[in-house]
């Protein structure tokens, strides 16, 4: 049976001991300690006579004792044998005749101090120091294991994020989110300022001025919803519909099932052409739509075009160009 000295060893010492015994060194400190203990228990007959591994057993087979005995338990015999109370001899010179009676009485009462008490105190201090060192070592090993597990978790999150962002669909989504952010920033400007908070039936507390969007604009169709619907219809839904119908990823697939539900190259090309026609070629304005045959049912939400054109500017062109290049790059690699 393994001695409890195993639990007082550091993880590095346990790894060295496990390597010498041919035991697996992977895992936490408790795992290595359990494997070493099991190995020592299974191979007690072969290892107990080895001076390196003998201290880890509660029973030690020793060589013949000094009195010619076949074997004896050295550790138990040492524990059972009472220690002789060795005393330190203290020699004092006789007090001078002219000393006071008090000095002579104290000198005669000085007794010899047993050495066993000093040894007991030293042993207690050593034991406590060993326990503290073992506890600190175990705490250090546990902290190292927890840090290793935390690092492994961060690596997993980074790998998942990389695999999610390293797709053509993620590039298209980021492009659309950026355009939506620009549009909402313009249609929901932070015009409401709050500099204090008033509690009902309570005091008014002054705070740092905070600017919040005026959500009353959500009730204004021309100022908010019409530009939003124009952008979603012509720069998102229309390219998605065409890329679903014209999907060249079916050609590379061995079955009728496409690799992508929407062809990313078709989506970006159609979006680029749509932005060019609406913002450059036709140059639709509120007055032109009202006075031309382009408006009405042929161009829904046309009054929102000036706002979208002014806010997005060249973002649809740049985003479509980047999306097309990324789509072609991925198609060549795959």
pLDDT surpasses 70 at 28: yes
Residue 94 DSSP one-character state: P
Q: Please tell me the predicted confidence (pLDDT) of residue 242.
A: 93
Q: Which one is predicted more confidently, 202 or 66?
A: 202
Convert the pLDDT of each residue in 221-265 to its tens digit. 888 899 999 999 999 999 999 999 998 877 655 555 557 788 899
Average pLDDT, the chain: 74
Q: Please tell me the predicted confidence (pLDDT) of residue 18.
A: 86
Q: Which one is predicted more confidently, 68 or 40?
A: 40
Closest among 281, 244, 242, 267 to 322, alpha carbons compared: 267
Given pLDDT bands bounded at 50, 70 and 90, which one contains residue 178? Answer: very high
Report the pLDDT averaged over residues 321-332: 88
Q: How far apart are CA 78 and CA 86, in angstroms?
A: 16
DSSP characters for 119-141? HHHHHHHHHHHHHHHHHHHHHHH
Which residue matches tokens 């009054």? 303
pLDDT surpasses 90 at 98: no
What are the Cα distances from residue 108, in Å, to 88, 90, 214, 234?
16, 12, 100, 114
Given a contact cutoff of 8 angstroms between Cβ atoms, the answer to whether 40 and 53 are in contact is yes
The token pair that represents 149 in the structure block: 């597990």
Which segments of 166-280 does DSSP mark as H helices, in order? 168-187, 226-232, 238-245, 249-252, 264-276
Q: How far apart are CA 284 and CA 288, in angstroms?
A: 6
pLDDT surpasses 60 at 218: yes
Q: Is 239 helix (H, G, I), strand (E, B) or coil?
A: helix
Q: How far apart are CA 183 and CA 170, in angstroms?
A: 20
Q: Please tell me the predicted confidence (pLDDT) of residue 96.
A: 52
Report the pLDDT averaged over residues 143-163: 84
Q: Please tell me the predicted confidence (pLDDT) of residue 99.
A: 52
Alpha carbons within 13 angstroms on the beta-carbon side of residue 227 total 24
Given a contact cutoff of 8 angstroms between Cβ atoms, the answer to whether 128 and 120 are in contact is no
Positive or negative torsion for Cα 264, 268, 274, 277: negative
For the chain, give the percent of residues with pLDDT over 90: 13
pLDDT surpasses 90 at 303: no
pLDDT surpasses 80 at 126: no
Q: Please tell me the predicted confidence (pLDDT) of residue 202.
A: 67
Q: Which long-range contacts (CB under 8 A, 24 or more apart) does 189-197 make?
A: 189/213, 189/214
Which residue matches tokens 């007090």? 95
Q: Which one is predicted more confidently, 106 or 304?
A: 304
Q: Please tell me the predicted confidence (pLDDT) of residue 61.
A: 37
Burial of 21 (0-12, 13-18, 19+ CB in 10 A): middle
Query: Do you know the residue count of the chain?
Result: 334
Q: Which one is predicted more confidently, 137 or 106?
A: 137
Given a contact cutoff of 8 angstroms between Cβ atoms, the answer to whether 213 and 192 are in contact is yes
Alpha carbons within 13 angstroms on the beta-carbon side of residue 165 total 8
Q: Please tell me the predicted confidence (pLDDT) of residue 70.
A: 37
């Amino acid at each position: 049976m393994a001695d409890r000295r195993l639990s007082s060893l550091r993880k590095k010492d346990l790894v060295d001991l496990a390597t010498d015994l041919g035991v697996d060194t992977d895992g936490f400190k408790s795992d290595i300690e359990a494997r070493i203990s099991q190995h020592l228990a299974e191979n007690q007959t072969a290892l107990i006579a080895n001076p390196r591994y003998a201290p880890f057993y509660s029973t030690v087979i020793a060589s013949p004792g000094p009195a010619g005995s076949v074997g004896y338990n050295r550790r138990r015999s040492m524990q059972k044998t009472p220690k002789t109370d060795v005393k330190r001899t203290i020699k004092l010179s006789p007090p001078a005749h002219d000393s006071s009676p008090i000095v002579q009485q104290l000198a005669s009462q000085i007794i010899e101090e047993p050495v066993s008490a000093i040894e007991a105190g030293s042993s207690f201090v050593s034991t406590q120091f060993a326990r503290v060192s073992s506890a600190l070592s175990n705490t250090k090993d546990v902290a190292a294991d927890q840090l290793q597990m935390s690092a492994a978790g961060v690596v997993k999150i980074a790998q998942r994020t990389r695999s999610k962002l390293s797709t053509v669909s993620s590039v298209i989504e980021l492009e659309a989110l950026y355009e939506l952010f620009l549009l909402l920033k313009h249609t929901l400007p932070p015009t409401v300022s709050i500099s204090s908070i008033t509690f009902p039936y309570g005091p008014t507390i002054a705070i740092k001025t905070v600017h919040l969007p005026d959500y009353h604009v959500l009730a204004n169709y021309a100022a908010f919803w019409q530009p939003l619907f124009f952008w979603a219809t012509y720069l998102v839904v229309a390219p998605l519909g065409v890329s679903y119908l014209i999907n060249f990823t079916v050609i590379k697939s061995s079955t009728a099932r496409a690799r992508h539900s929407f062809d990313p190259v078709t989506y970006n090309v159609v979006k680029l052409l749509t932005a060019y026609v609406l913002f450059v070629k036709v140059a639709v304005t509120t007055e032109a739509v009202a006075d031309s045959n382009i408006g009405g049912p042929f161009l829904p939400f046309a009054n929102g075009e000036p706002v979208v054109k002014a806010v997005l500017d060249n973002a649809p062109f740049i985003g479509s160009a980047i999306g097309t290049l990324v789509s072609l790059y991925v198609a060549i690699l795959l």
